Amino acid sequence: MMRSMLMIVLVSMLVGCGNGEEEARQDLAGSPNILLIVADDLGYSDIGPFGGEIATPTLDTLAREGLTFSNFHVLPTCSPSRSVLLSGVDNHLAGLGTMGEIMTPEMEGHPGYVGHLNFEVAALPEVLRAAGYHTYMAGKWHLGSEEATSPYARGFEETFALVPGGGSHWNDRRPLSPPQTMIYRRNGNIVASLPDDFYSTKDYTDHLLEWIASDHGDGKPFFAYLSYTAPHDPLHAPREYIEKYAGKYDDGWDALRETRLERLKALGIVADGTQAFPRLPNVKAWDAMSEDKKREHARDMEVYAAMIDYMDEQIARVIDRLKETGEYENTLILFFSDNGANGALPTAYPGQTEEFLNSFDNSLENRGLVNSFIEQGPGWAQASMSPGRMFKAFTSEGGIRSPCLVKVPGQSTNAGTMNHSFFHVRDITPTILDFAGVPHPRKIGERKIRPLQGNSVLDLFVGKTQAAYAGADEVGYELFGLKAFFVGDWKILWMPEPFGTGEWELFDVKQDPAEMNDLSAQHPDRLEEMIARWEQYKKDNGVLDISYDLSDIE
């Protein structure tokens, strides 16, 4: 039934190319809406459907009414992941071979390293808007700082966007480090000031609801990109939400890492014999810390949990509105995180100074409130990514495995089930286009567009198959000199000391998601073949061989 509808939409659009706006609206009547919700630095096991203890009733319901995907992979950090999300091609081809904040002289002149979503790719909203969709974006952009590279310039008709990667969630707009500036843009124009009661998660949601309401009933479907900055540091949440979690994390990160792992086992997400990657050497055992340090770190995790709890409530506002207007059953909803939980300290941000960090009030009473700068840190991030190795910024599973929830329109025969097949963030744009019945363009105006590298996994979403397309689990990675390549359940991983061995390692990630048992000596031929595949990936995607200083992210 759904496939028939999609084909009708596609044919009508192809036949109607060049028709007036009224005819385009008529062609799109009844076409599905798309709601894409992306959390920022959310951990794999934080939310209820993945065993988390944080209250996420909205996401719990979404999982019951839709599908949960346990083997969805993203990129290690924000902007590279988002470039793949909105283009359907590798980050090195989309312009984010590195983050814009971490450019080196060797990258000069390379279109894959311009630090913004380049114009060799079609941005998903450009394609959908040209087909007649309303396109809305509220939240974090991080794919270009200038007006010409803003979301408004890349196909979104209504935007309220945080331009850089993060900063204060309140109206004071304090950045992540002194050289950065917290710029918000409203439809390309810089926002001069924020409301006194501004809180990022609330205000992003307010804007999106306003746009959906203003266009409701005009016969056009919408694509809405709700790009929260929660729970990215600095960790901030309303006081009453923080207080809900008082004492919740007093047992510490060692206990939480093991508790989360046991819940993942109980849900069948990881095998019974799985062990969590050990606590990192630079992270103290919880019981070895002073009581004052324990209280501070426990509060940090309370604030982190409060941010996710609050975000879940805001998602409920959007879903409730869709139900009130009769649009819920005609909306594809996707939810996931852009990368793993963030274990880096604030000192890792480029240009950071001790003077800047000392200017905040991080007293126990003020942690998580206005004028504080606290973070999850490596101890809690390891717990959030349990059983994974490392966290955000790394090509190990702790950096690139994300929780993923999908709700397709109507009643699904596979609702409430969990799927363990591999698919990748590069497949999201092709799937949304397939779902909407919109072809990917070869050109936009005079711009020649790169073809998609990902493929549609719509059949997986609607339950027609139990595995994604052939080749979905063959994916290469490179970021900050860290490398990986997947073929099925096999993965090769290269990370320098002290994060890895400085040599290629080989893992069966189905049996060993913590990547602790290097099988390269047992399977040298497989290792050699996969290294050759990575070298071809490097050539095909214009990956530069650059050395990075990773000392700040230990």
Q: Which residues does 512 contact at the CB level (< 8 Å), separation at least 6?
A: 274
Characterize the bridge pairing of strands 443-444 and 447-448. antiparallel
What the block records as the tokens of 240 is 């009453």
- Catalytic: which of 73, 78, 134, 424? 78
How many angstroms separate the CA atoms of 410 and 534, rounded?
41
Residue 334 vs residues 43, 59, 62, 369, 445: alpha-carbon distances, Å? 16, 11, 9, 30, 30
How many angstroms separate the CA atoms of 126 and 148, rounded?
14
Split the chain (554 residues) into runs of 10 and give each run's mean pLDDT. 35 30 46 96 98 98 97 98 98 96 90 96 97 97 96 98 97 96 97 97 98 94 98 98 98 98 97 95 96 98 98 98 95 98 95 97 98 98 98 98 95 87 98 96 94 97 94 97 97 96 97 97 98 98 85 52
266-281 burial: b if 16+ Cβ within 10 Å, else e = eeebbeeebebbebbe
Closest CA to 541 of 471, 421, 450, 461: 450
Q: Which amino acid is at 415?
A: A
> Can you give the pTM of this predicted structure?
0.94
Is 78 annotated in the active site?
A: yes
Closest CA to 346 of 383, 377, 367: 377
Residue 361 vs residues 235, 357, 367, 504: alpha-carbon distances, Å? 13, 9, 8, 44
What the block records as the tokens of 355 is 């003077």
Hunting for tokens 């509105």 — which residue is that? 321
Q: Is 101 helix (H, G, I), strand (E, B) or coil?
A: coil
What the block records as the tokens of 138 is 């509220």
Q: Which residues does 162 contact at the CB level (< 8 Å), separation at least 6?
A: 139, 140, 141, 142, 182, 183, 184, 200, 229
- Domain 31-553 sits in CATH 3.40.720.10: yes
Characterize the bridge pairing of strands 134-140 and 158-162. parallel
Q: Is 457 helix (H, G, I), strand (E, B) or coil?
A: coil
How many angstroms separate the CA atoms of 433 and 458, rounded?
10
Is 169 annotated in the active site?
A: no
- Catalytic: which of 92, 142, 169, 424? 142
User: Helices 252-266 & 377-384, crossing angle to 10 degrees?
Assistant: 10
Domain-wise residue ranges, the chain: 1-30, 31-553
Closest CA to 534 of 500, 487, 499, 502: 487
Q: Is 431 helix (H, G, I), strand (E, B) or coil?
A: helix
Hunting for tokens 């809305």 — which residue is that? 136
Q: Which residues does 384 contact at the CB level (< 8 Å), separation at least 6?
A: 42, 43, 44, 45, 46, 260, 340, 341, 376, 391
Q: Report the pLDDT value the prediction gives residue 29, as an integer from 0 to 100.
A: 67
Strands across the sheet containing 474-479 = 474-479, 482-487, 490-494, 505-508
Closest CA to 298 of 357, 368, 356: 368
Q: Report the pLDDT value the prediction gives residue 10, as an integer from 0 to 100.
A: 32
Q: Report the pLDDT value the prediction gives residue 24, as an integer from 0 to 100.
A: 33
